């Protein structure tokens, strides 16, 4: 489910940066009202900390990632857009919640997932990290759409992916492949 834009971006990834301010701008443009999060070291400084300083979207801190899947589900039924900001370890821990709530109940659970210890510029399937390598195949097996956010070129994919998730009422995962500045 990886799109062509993402593949093109990989070729220039080493030479490019990823700006947290750009990601935050797109999250706001996608009309996200709540960000639900367990801290992720990839996005900690460049995204979560600026989010925490901002009043909008409202940040909801949770103890565990599967809680966040359910909170986002409740918000979706109320017509409120939310984003679950987590690390890929938390995504793996939440597979059953994503399976049962997001996939089988067809809910627009939007997840932004930091790929812990992924090497910048290296596509996730080629990472030396086993945990990183298995993320996309697992999402493919589950039928969950996913998009790579590796450089600023990819930031433009965030809003359409979220809009599409809500229009189709389906989950989506946006993987963050390097630490945003």
- The footprint of another protein (CB under 8 A) covers 34, 60-64, 66-80, 82, 96-97, 100-101, 104-105
Q: Which is nearer to another protein, 79 or 130 (CB)?
A: 79
Q: Which is nearer to another protein, 69 or 132 (CB)?
A: 69
Q: Which is nearer to another protein, 97 or 173 (CB)?
A: 97
In angstroms, give the least distance from the CB of 67 to another protein: 4
The 3-state DSSP class for residue 130 equals helix
Using omega within 30 degrees of 0 as the cis cutoff, is the peptide bond preceding 57 cis?
yes
Phi, psi of 176 (to 5 degrees): -105, 115
Q: Are 101 and 69 in contact (CB under 8 A)?
A: yes
Structure tokens at 17: 């940066």
Q: Are 69 and 102 in contact (CB under 8 A)?
A: yes
Q: Which is nearer to another protein, 59 or 153 (CB)?
A: 59
DSSP 20-70: HHHHHHHHHHTT--EEEE---TTTIIIIIHHHHH-SSSEEEE-SSHHHHHH
Q: Which is nearer to another protein, 49 or 64 (CB)?
A: 64
């Amino acid at each position: 489910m990886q799109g062509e834009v993402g593949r093109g971006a990989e070729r220039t990834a080493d030479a490019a940066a990823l700006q947290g301010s750009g990601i935050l701008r797109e999250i706001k443009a996608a009309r996200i009202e709540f960000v639900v999060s367990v801290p992720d070291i990839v996005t900690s400084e460049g995204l979560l900390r600026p989010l925490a300083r901002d009043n909008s979207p409202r940040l909801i801190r949770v103890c565990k990632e599967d809680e966040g899947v359910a909170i986002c589900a409740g918000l979706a039924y109320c017509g409120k857009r939310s984003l679950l900001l987590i690390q890929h370890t938390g995504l793996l821990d939440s597979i059953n919640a994503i399976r049962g709530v997001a996939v089988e109940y067809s809910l627009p659970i939007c997840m932004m997932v930091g790929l812990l210890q992924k090497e910048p510029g290296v596509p996730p399937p080629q990472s030396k990290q086993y945990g990183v390598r298995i993320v996309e195949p697992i999402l493919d097996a589950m039928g969950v759409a996913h998009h790579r956010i590796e450089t600023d070129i990819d930031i433009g994919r965030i809003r359409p992916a979220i809009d599409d998730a809500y229009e189709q009422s389906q989950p989506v995962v946006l993987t963050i492949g390097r630490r945003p500045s």
